[in-house]
Chain A
Amino acid sequence: MSRADRDAEQDAGQDAEQRAGQDAEGPPAVPRLLEVRDLRVEFRTRDGVTEAVSGVSYGVDAGRTLAVLGESGSGKSVTAQAVMGILDSPPARVTGGRILFRGRDLLRMGEDERRRVRGARMAMIFQDALSALNPVLSVGAQLAEMYEVHQGLSRRAARARAVELMDRVRIPAARERAGDYPHQFSGGMRQRIMIAMALALEPDLIIADEPTTALDVTVQAQVMDLLAELRREYAMGLILITHDLGVVADVADTIAVMYAGRIVETAPVRDLYRRPAHPYTRGLLDSVPRLDGGGRELYAIKGLPPGPADLPPGCPFAPRCPRAQDVCRAERPPLYEVACGDASVRRASACHFWKDELDARDPIAAP
């Protein structure tokens, strides 16, 4: 059974036991750092109710990186915001599922405790640093504030820590620049300041939502190296939401692919790139433009993603899928466990024909 299936069916106690048996490398019976189970989020707007996240399950362990890939609008950010407890509600509402942090459900914690966990143990890095930073407060003051509020440090001590932290994320001349305002920094430096803020309280989990989308590749490389290094140093778990399959190949341990509010495939990074087990994943991989050129026409998955309001009854990918059969249009595929010949590799795919996809040598021709 796949992890996701298992999660949906079993409760926490049994689950921990089972993992102890399954997870060869991991420490026995220790709850995962973060485990999202069957999460559902809906939006109530004037147009009606739409479900943006429809039963998402994923998890990450300490010191590991989970990359979340997928269609624009598939619910990657909304899921992350639900984990962080920063959903705009209303209109958003978590209608089901669990968000287990070290085995404890954030959705069922008291208000105070939840705030404490989310404030100190988890942090988020956003795509556009400029709008996430306070424009009228110097970056040093913003960093120091976190120490004053959460650790009760004196203003002076907090300032000193802030400069230390800026040093850590390699802001040159940190002491001199602590008094500068966000707009006085370049895009890459602002992103580093965001990382500094996220790291300030040494969280156990960082969620980075497209942290390098706005950066050029050299700065991107610096930022990703920094994140990887800090992740190792602090044994943080990292959830990285990105569209860049190059970055994912570089830094991720496992991948979750989302489509229309659901996870459609999870796998270790190598296995997924080598042999995808879902036609949507294959389509994504085939759409990546190559640096060495090739023709001008890029492979693109045909058609449009469904809106949350017009989901087909069967597989949400069926209208665009080159493999779709009648069963796909009638029955929603569950997350099947993918047996790929190597028992130590855990994968899952929400495709009735995952086996055919896994065994396909070449990209199948689109109809």
Chain B
Amino acid sequence: MTTEKKKLAPRDQGAPDYKKNLHPLMVKNYGKWKYYDKIKPGVLKHVAESGDALYTVRAGSPRTLSVDKVRAICDIADKYCQGHLRFTSRANVEFLLAREQDIEPLIKEVRERLGFPIGGTGHSVTNIVHTQGWMHCNLPGTDAVGAVKALMDELYEEFTNERMPARVKISASCCSINCGGQADIAINLQHHHPPTINHGNMQICELPKVVAICPVAAIRPAKVEAKDSLEVVEEKCMYCGACHGQCPSMEIRDPNTDTLSIWVGGKSANTRSGPSFMKLAAWGLPNNPPRWPEVGAAVKKLLTVYKGSAKQYERIGEWIERIGWARFFELTGFEFTKYHIDTFKHARTTFNTSAQVR
């Protein structure tokens, strides 16, 4: 290590000034927007009290971008958007335009130069939020990055059209920590046995911290070949992988046995029924790179049934609440099994405690 003392840049500067980054029409009409109109899927018109109109063209991106791709995005924004754009929480790029006549030329360039589709607004299937997978995470059992690309290929027409009963948000995660979050449809990976402990390497982590992280107290200190290590009470362990996140020597992944599960009905918005958690729909799907066709087929099946059966403005969870879970499993063809019945903390609150049966 060189010890030459260089002067450090200033620390603790905080967040960049968003005001410098706002489109001029946003600065001018800040907090004074009146309504919006949908022009077509992916294109919105926001009208301010001043009478100003700001057009938004939303394009789906793969989130992982080379600097040259980002520069190409900037070139287009310089040409049509007075040098301003924004990103959504689901990795869509929003091009902001002051002039209506620029919309079509911009769309043409976005399609040709970036290869990005236009859509993701209203009642469409919008871009999938996902985790790092084999590209950069230390814990993944699968690659959400690639799985999402393959799945969006399947759902392309649903991104560019608004023909779902309500908006559909999908997330994908590479382990049961589920960083992808609650969504109408979520795909994540599940492990099927307790961690395998690499005792030889166990001294690098703070063992009490590893013991403390287990949600079901399945880990306890043990001496292995006269060295401090840990052991797992296998009957207690529920294969969550929390310990693996804390200590790399608690290997929970297994390329031969890990599988994918599909969850449905998560929602953040307070609209109508309020926010809700997603529930298990299907399990045991193979972790099948490079294109995970079984996941694509299951999600498409689910969306087809939803589209045919839900009422307008019913998100997936609300639709299932209305028709009941029995009908959901019947319509989708997903098999209902004993594993769908909760066994964790608040299991009893999920049972049907009435004679209301359908």
Q: Do A and B bind?
A: no
